[in-house]
Amino acid sequence: MKIDILSDLHLDFYFKLDLISRENVVSFFEPVFTDNQTREIGNVLIIAGDIGHYNEQNIEVLKIFQKEFYKYIICVLGNHDYYLIDSEAKYTFDNDSFTRVEDMRKLINERKICTV
């Protein structure tokens, strides 16, 4: 079994929610996952924190990871995964970063994307 690990993805710096597509995500991450086609993609991906600041965006990218690259994904949340980045996030999560984390966990579990 091969396990790949990434951290500090900060997806919101690379993808806007309304512009996330399979083609964009695959073209961006395939060279990362294959080290420019010099290695095979592993069986499991561990994301070791700082996925991104927006839950829905994170979910959309993780769904593509699961469909295109990895059957199993394990997410460990980092400090940025607790941030409430703007006033909309503060309002949505009642100014409570733990509520944001619970929402992310709920979305991941509902869609059976990865283990948190």
* Ramachandran sector of residue 10 (left: φ over 0; alpha: ψ -120 to 50; beta: rest): left
Regarding pTM above 0.95, the answer is: no
pLDDT value, residue 115: 62
- Would you kindly state where each structural domain of the chain is located, as residue ranges? 3-13+20-110
- Check whether 85 has a pLDDT greater than 70: yes
pLDDT value, residue 110: 85
The answer to whether the beta carbons of residues 116 and 59 sit under 8 Å apart is no
The answer to whether the beta carbons of residues 46 and 5 sit under 8 Å apart is yes
Rounded distance, CA 114 to CA 8, Å? 17
Q: Encode pLDDT of 6-24 as tens digits.
A: 999 999 888 877 778 999 9
Q: Encode pLDDT of 22-70 as tens digits.
A: 999 999 999 999 988 899 999 999 999 999 999 989 999 999 999 999 9
- Check whether 116 has a pLDDT greater than 80: no
Adjacency order of strands within the sheet including 72-76: 3-6, 44-48, 72-76
Q: Which two tokens stand for residue 40?
A: 């095979």
